[in-house]
Amino acid sequence: MKKEYQINQLQINSLGIIDFLLASSRPIFSVIMAFLVSGVIILIQGINPIDAFSAIIRGAFGNIGSIANTCVRATPLLIGALGMTLGIRGGIFNVGAEGQLYIGAAAATTVGLLPLPVPSWLHITLSLIAGILGGSLFAVLPAFLKAYRGISEIVVTIMLNFVGIYFVSYLIHEPNLIGKADASYAQSRDILPSAALPVLIKGTSLHFGIIIAVVLALILFSVLKYSRFGYRTRMVGANPEAAHYVGVNVKRSIFTTFLMVGGFSGLMGAVEILGFKHSIFDYFSGGLGYDTVAVSLLGGVNPLGVIVSAFFFGSLRAGGNLMQQTVGVSTYMVQVIQALVVLFIVGIGFMKPRIRKQKSTTLQPIETNNLEG
């Protein structure tokens, strides 16, 4: 059964751990190449790239505080990249995580500000759910347009990112809503302590969100690999026509998957607020939503791989500040490294199995396969 449907097979079944290990040589090569090229860029600026990179390493792993910082940076990246991964597996390229995370963060903040007569764990749960719903809600329009009207999600979601960011900007400028009255710069009021995620190690910023993120990764891995829903989603992503022929409602699958992807992005924003920032301000995310694309691709669009790559990018984000302070290389260099990683992954052909259209070999084997995978 396993060898029958060739290229499609590559995509649908490339979730196994052994496949993952085999495939991980390419991401590692991409990372090395990205560092080489960005090293040259740093060199052109007249700075020793080795100093710059060692500053990143010290900033990310130098002491317990910086390791905690790395984990804190990795947490939202991991949650968001899981959404991205689910999306790509299900045939959706969601570039709208940024907008969804703002709406999710705003929703979570709003609930986090309510003085609810409930225990802390419930207050946190309610705020997180609000974040998920906020993100999903903001994905309804692109999901509908993509699934039922065939409009590319890329332009719509990027446009919505701006809408989301400006909408949240409006909310935090209004003291009647969630804005803080006498703030030096526009920001929301701080969430109530009962809604804040607990800190795991005293004296550091490490919060409970990391556990949520890793557990979600394991859940998503099993769901995608073993469940009926996961198989269906991957089939829609790999070959929508074949999925349609075996009776999958492709439109509905894309629509619901898109809402879940939005939910992940919303949760990413909620966790960032409840665990780390505790209030929203303009551009608080620093492009986290866009980073999820690189994290997901480097992780091989596999939830387990994404754990590794989220920590990698988290360490870059954590170490980038020290690099700027000590050797004077802009923190935006981290973004350049990310971009290079994405481009090298494309160049090496990591995504190829997904792209190649296969015409004839796909239908028959899947029919005999009873969808259980």
Give the contacts of 217 (CB within 8 A, at least 6 positions apart).
78, 82, 303, 304, 306, 307
Site for another protein, residues 277 to 296, rule: CB under 8 A? 290, 293-294
Rama region for 46: left / alpha / beta (φ>0; ψ in -120 to 50; rest): left
Using CB under 8 A, pick the residue from 36, 43, 122, 166 that binds another protein. Answer: 166
Closest to another protein by CB, 117 or 150: 150
Place of tokens 């045939």: 91
Using CB under 8 A, pick the residue from 346, 361, 364, 367 that binds another protein. Answer: 346
The stretch among 20-28, 236-244, 249-257, 329-337 that binds another protein (CB under 8 A) is 329-337
Structure tokens at 203: 């004296």
In the three-class reduction of DSSP (H, G, I as helix; E, B as strand; rest coil), residue 281 is classed as strand
Closest to another protein by CB, 229 or 290: 290
Place of tokens 């991205």: 84
Alpha-carbon span 240 to 141, nearest angstrom: 21
Confirm or reject binding of residue 3 to another protein (CB under 8 A).
no
**Residue 174: count of CB within 10 angstroms of its CB:** 11
Closest to another protein by CB, 57 or 163: 163
Question: In angstroms, what CA-CA distances link 205 with 73, 275, 311?
Answer: 10, 8, 16
Alpha-carbon span 354 to 160, nearest angstrom: 27
Using CB under 8 A, pick the residue from 133, 259, 297, 308 that binds another protein. Answer: 297
Site for another protein, residues 190 to 249, rule: CB under 8 A? none
Using CB under 8 A, pick the residue from 6, 118, 162, 361 that binds another protein. Answer: 162
User: Residue 130 in contact with residue 108, Cβ under 8 Å?
Assistant: yes
Closest to another protein by CB, 252 or 356: 356
Taking the complex as a whole, how short is the minimal distance between the CB of residue 55 and another protein, in angstroms?
Answer: 15
Using CB under 8 A, pick the residue from 97, 318, 342, 366 that binds another protein. Answer: 342
Using CB under 8 A, pick the residue from 145, 183, 200, 216 that binds another protein. Answer: 145
Q: Go through 231-262 and write b for each residue having 16 or more CB atoms within 10 A of its CB, e for each that does not.
A: bbbbbbbbbbebbeeeebebbebbbbbbbbbb
Alpha-carbon span 265 to 254, nearest angstrom: 16
Using CB under 8 A, pick the residue from 183, 343, 363, 371 that binds another protein. Answer: 343
The four Cα atoms 64, 70, 72, 75 give a dihedral, to 10 degrees, of: -140
Taking the complex as a whole, how short is the minimal distance between the CB of residue 65 and another protein, in angstroms?
Answer: 27
Taking the complex as a whole, how short is the minimal distance between the CB of residue 116 and another protein, in angstroms?
Answer: 28
Residues in contact with another protein by the rule CB under 8 A: 41, 45, 93, 95, 141, 145, 149-151, 154-156, 158-163, 166-167, 169-170, 173-174, 290, 293-294, 297, 329-330, 332-336, 338-340, 342-343, 346-347, 349, 351-352, 354-357
